[in-house]
Each structure stands twice: as C-alpha cells, then as structure tokens.
Amino acid sequence: MCGIAGYIPHYGNAPNLLRLEEMCNRLVHRGPDAAGYFCDDRVALGHRRLSIIDLSGGSQPLGNEDGRIQVVFNGEIYNYRELRKDLESRHRFVTQSDTEVLVHLYEEVGERLPEYLNGMFAFAIWDGRNNEMFLARDRFGKKPLYYSFAIPGIRFCFASELKALTALPKFDRRVNAQSVADFLSLSYIPDPQTIYEDVFKLGPGHSLTVSWSKERLRRYWAPAFSMEAAHFDDAVEEIRSLAASAVEMRLISDVPLGAFLSGGVDSSAIVAFMAQHAPERVKTFSIGFTSKRFDELDYAHLAVRRYRTDHHEQVVSPSIHEMLDKLVEHYDEPFADSSAIPMLYLSRMTRQHVTVALCGDGADELFCGYRRYSFGLFEAKVREKFPKWFRQSVFRLGARYYPKFDYLPRVFRAKMLLTTMSQEMGDAFFTSMSTFRDEALDAVLSPALRRGLDGYSPREGFRKRFESVSHLHPLQQMQAVDLETYLPGDILVKADRATMAYSLEARSPWLDHRIAEAAFRLPPGFKVRGSVGKYIFKKAMSPYVAPQVISRPKMGFQVPLAEWFRTSLADTFQSRVMRESMGQYLSLGEVDRLWKAHQSGLHNHDRKLWSLLMLACWDARHRNGGEPSALQAAGRMEGSSSVV
C-alpha cells in the first residue's frame, strides 16, 4: 500500500523535483518505508512506499527493460503470480513484486490492462513511447485517485490524496458550492466531484489517458446485472467457494497480517476462512463502546472462541477530541460518516500488531444487507399497487401530519415510510439516505451559497442516476446506485483514510470482482426474502458463523453521537461551528435552532450536527492554511454558478 503523485508540465516547461518531493511528503503516512522519484523533461512521478510484498525489491517508480515505460502504483494485485507466469517467456523481470507485472502487461495490452487485474489499485503509467499518461482505478474504487487539469503551468496532475495536490503552487482552493450541498445532504461528496472546483476523482472502474493535446476517459468495467435462473443450492456453493478463494488470495503478504472483527456475519466469516489457511493463530481486532447499546464485543467473542484467535480489543469512551483533528487531517474533504471515529481507533490499535488487515466491506452492497433494500422492495410493490396520483395525495398528506418521534421504537416512526411511499424510486432512495434535504437544506445554507448553486439540487442527481438504470429490477437499481455513490464515496473512503492514517493496509475479500459478478447474476429473491437481507450470503456462511450472529439484525459501526453532543462535544460544537466565518456556508440562525432543539432532548439532530461540525473543522484546517479565506473566495462568486 502506498501513496502516488505526479504531473505533466505544460509543453515547453520542465518538471521540478522539489515540487514533486513536497507532494509526496504529504503522503508519508501512506508510505513511510521509502520514497522514489522519476523526472525527465516531460513528466514527474513520485511514490511513497509501505512495503508489503518483496520487501527488499519492488521500489518505485519502476520501469520496463528500456525505461521508456514507468509506473507508480498504490494497491495490491492478487493474481499477479498467474499473470507473471504468462509474461515471463516474453519479458525480463528484476523483482518479485506485483508492480512489475503492470509494466509488462501494459506493454502487451495497453489500456485494457485493468481488465486483467484482480485486486485493489490506483496507478499511473508514463508511456514515453507515445508521450502520454495512463491512469486506472480498481472496479469498486477501493484505492483513491484525484486529478486536475486546472493548475497554472501544469498540463495535468494526480495524487492519492487531495493534500498532495494542494502542495502545488497556485493551487486554487475555490470551493465547489454543489459539493457543499451534496455533503450536507449525503455526509460525503460523491464521485467524480470533490470539495474543490476543477479537481476530480477518477471514478471506480475507469481509466484516463492524457497527452499534451488531449485526454480520454474510459469506463472499462461496470456491474452487469441479470437474473439467471440458478438453482439456489448451486448458487450457495458458488458463493462459498468464491469466498474461500478470495480470502485465501488476500493472505499473500511478507509482513504480519490480521483481521477486523466487528461481530457481524461479514467479518466473522473472513476470520473463519483465514483460520483454515493461516499457518498460525489469526490475529483479530475489535472496538467496543462504554454504551452497551452500540457495543458488539459479545458477538465478536463468539468467533474469537470458536477459531481460537489471538484477539485484541479496545473500548472507546465518549472523549473523542483526540480523534477529531486526526479525522479532519486525513479525510481532506468534509466527511461526516461518524463511524470513521471507531475506524480510526481500530486502525491505530491494529497497526501496533500487524501491517495488513482483512475487513468485511462490500458484502452489504453486493448481497443487499441494508434495511433500505427491503424497505425499497416494499415501496416498489406499493407503487405497483397504487397509482401515482393516489400516493402523492394520500401518502404525502399522511406524512405531512404524522408526528415525528425521534426516540420511539422504529415501528412508531412511520413518517419517513409514508414520505418515501409517496415518491418515485430515485426520490425515495435519496430521502432515505439524506441528512439535510429539500427545505431543511435550503434553511441551513447561507444565501450566498444558495445563489452559487444556481438551482442545483442533490436530489436531482439521484433522480438521474436512477433513470439511467430504470430498466433493471428495483433491487438492482438500488444496488447499482449504491455502487456508484455510497460504496466508493463513503464506505471505502472511510476505510482507506482511517487505515492509511496509521500506515495500515486494509483488504476487502467480498469486493473480489468474481464474487461481485456472481452476485449480480442472482435473482433478487436470493438476496432479500421478506425483511431478511443478504439471505443467500448468510446461508453460504452459516457453517462458519455462529447462529446468533447469522440471525441478529444488522447493527453497523455506530457511535453515541446524540449523547456526545449533549456532553463531551457540546463546547466543541459551539466553538467551531458558531463562528462568524461559517456564515459563508451556513445560516447560523438555523444552526442555532437545530442545536437548541437537540439540547432540549425532544429531538435528535445528531447526524445534522455532526455534518455541520465536520464542515466547520474541515474549513478551519484545510481552507485557511495560508490560503485566501473562503470568505474572500465567496466574494468572487457573484456572476458565477459554481464558485463559493
């Protein structure tokens, strides 16, 4: 696992090694073991290395036999040995690393290279024969890759994290108003946008080819949904076999390796498969909470005892101030998934014992483990039964007058369900996912930022995404949109930044593309039955996971935010959010209203307050670090629809 960065100067300009070194210095946490650079009169490539495979070799940038092709690579290629075996008869290898396979395979297949790879990756290849750069990101976006064409004096630049790009002179920190609205709505900024104007994320399953005169963006992989009439038992065996293979492939390592263990099906099954192949006791790592309502340690202990793991755990207390700055430092953009807090604690503890950890990310998206999938199917049936005019009148009216109960059991909280049943699918999905929406978003945004939106609506973005997959079954539509938005924008960002903050590599067996493609072929009824999500996955894992874990409802990596905002985070919120400078983004009067309503104990606005706090913390750290203030940038917004 590593950090990469580089750029192509404008034609006639020469690269600057010191500039490249500064970019890479900001990625030391991703690669503390070594640094490497390649500069000629056309390109600059930089690399920070976290040594995992071939510890003595494999330094980057790495070239082919004549040096005209150079690569910098972040990730792991799990099938590199098979690929190398085929290439060895035609190419000379000088290392045992997976990186060298990329160079020689690119020589043979060009931009089709990522289609051959099983792994997680973001890489850049300089092709000196054609004076062009080829970049690619893995199918699901497990590894990040940012780029821009808009920095003066530079034709094109890229990096693993935004902080490396901001090291470039004349980097423009103008904030993208639409991204602020997206963030407050979703708690993250969906690909390909970033918080800054003119900086983008390369999308999952995409490649980008850049020369001095042109660029070509290509999607090399996309989910291919179907509904093959497979026999259920055969499908269970296929999933089980692929799962065992995926875990075994991800045990390749020349450094100590372990597993995150949450107490759910996904991580417990990984530990089970690891125990079958690991030569010694599997090292497992868990986080608990002093509040038992959020604690899963008892379930994690079931796997610990069954597989006799070498277990380590930590209980997180409400005093999280030490992690706030760490969170803001490493996420670079506003990011408000509060489970990043325990993920940081977990990563810090894990790195004290191992360098690589397997995790359970992806199973919920592939096999439909979230509650919103079963609710979405129910709503789809309602849409089939009741005409649109009836739903938009009767259900919408019911939602308007149904009282809002934040603290009663879920069965009494029908306001959201009535609302989503009155809406079409894209609107309903957005409603169920969003934090601030519609009137609430308008109320909390400052007048200046609303003008900058120029009519843009985060909801409209989700409508368009659903329209593009409207030919699919409703369950598949929800999966397809999650795979483009929530998985790469939230789940995988959370895991990558938290683990890399402590130079820890995280591997996700369930996001093996072979498992994904098998899951995409399954009939919807295999994945969701009634209110039970991940039905076939649970059946496949049942021989390895305790029945109590299989049958328990999904819990997620939750933290007691509502309580913290009334205790340990109260002063922090007041001092960081209720600042005059935050008026560039927010209506501070509306923020104060939300704060007081939460403090009354009658309402729970924890998600909204956390989003506001994360925006304020990001602004204080990343926006004003020696650059023009966001307020000064806002002054340039008049007459422009995209600048704050």
Among all residues, which ones are annotated catalytic?
A: 2
Centroid of chain to Cα 564: 25
Q: Which residues contact 405 (CB under 8 A, 6 or more apart)?
A: 412, 413, 415
Q: Which residues contact 167 (CB under 8 A, 6 or more apart)?
A: 19, 22, 23, 25, 26
613/329 Cα distance (integer angstroms): 14
Cα dihedral 523→524→527→528 (10° resolution): -150
For the chain, state the CA radius of gyration.
24
360/230 Cα distance (integer angstroms): 26
Spatial contact of 162 and 196, defined as CB atoms under 8 Å apart: yes
Instruction: Single out the residue of 190, 173, 141, 146 nearest to residue 458, CA to CA.
Output: 190
Instruction: Single out the residue of 492, 485, 491 nearest to residue 459, CA to CA.
Output: 485
**Cis (ω within 30 of 0) for the bond into 342?**
no
Neighbour-count burial for 243-277, b at 16+ CB within 10 Å, e otherwise: bbbbbbbbbbeeeebbbbbbbbbbbbbbbbbbbee
**Cis (ω within 30 of 0) for the bond into 61?**
yes
Spatial contact of 208 and 195, defined as CB atoms under 8 Å apart: no
User: Other C-beta atoms within 10 Å of 409: how many?
Assistant: 7
The DSSP call for residue 286 is: E
338/494 Cα distance (integer angstroms): 9
State which H helix or E strand residue 298 sits in.
helix 297-307
Strand pairing category for 154-159 and 2-9: antiparallel
Question: Would you mind telling me the total number of residues written for the chain in this entry?
Answer: 644
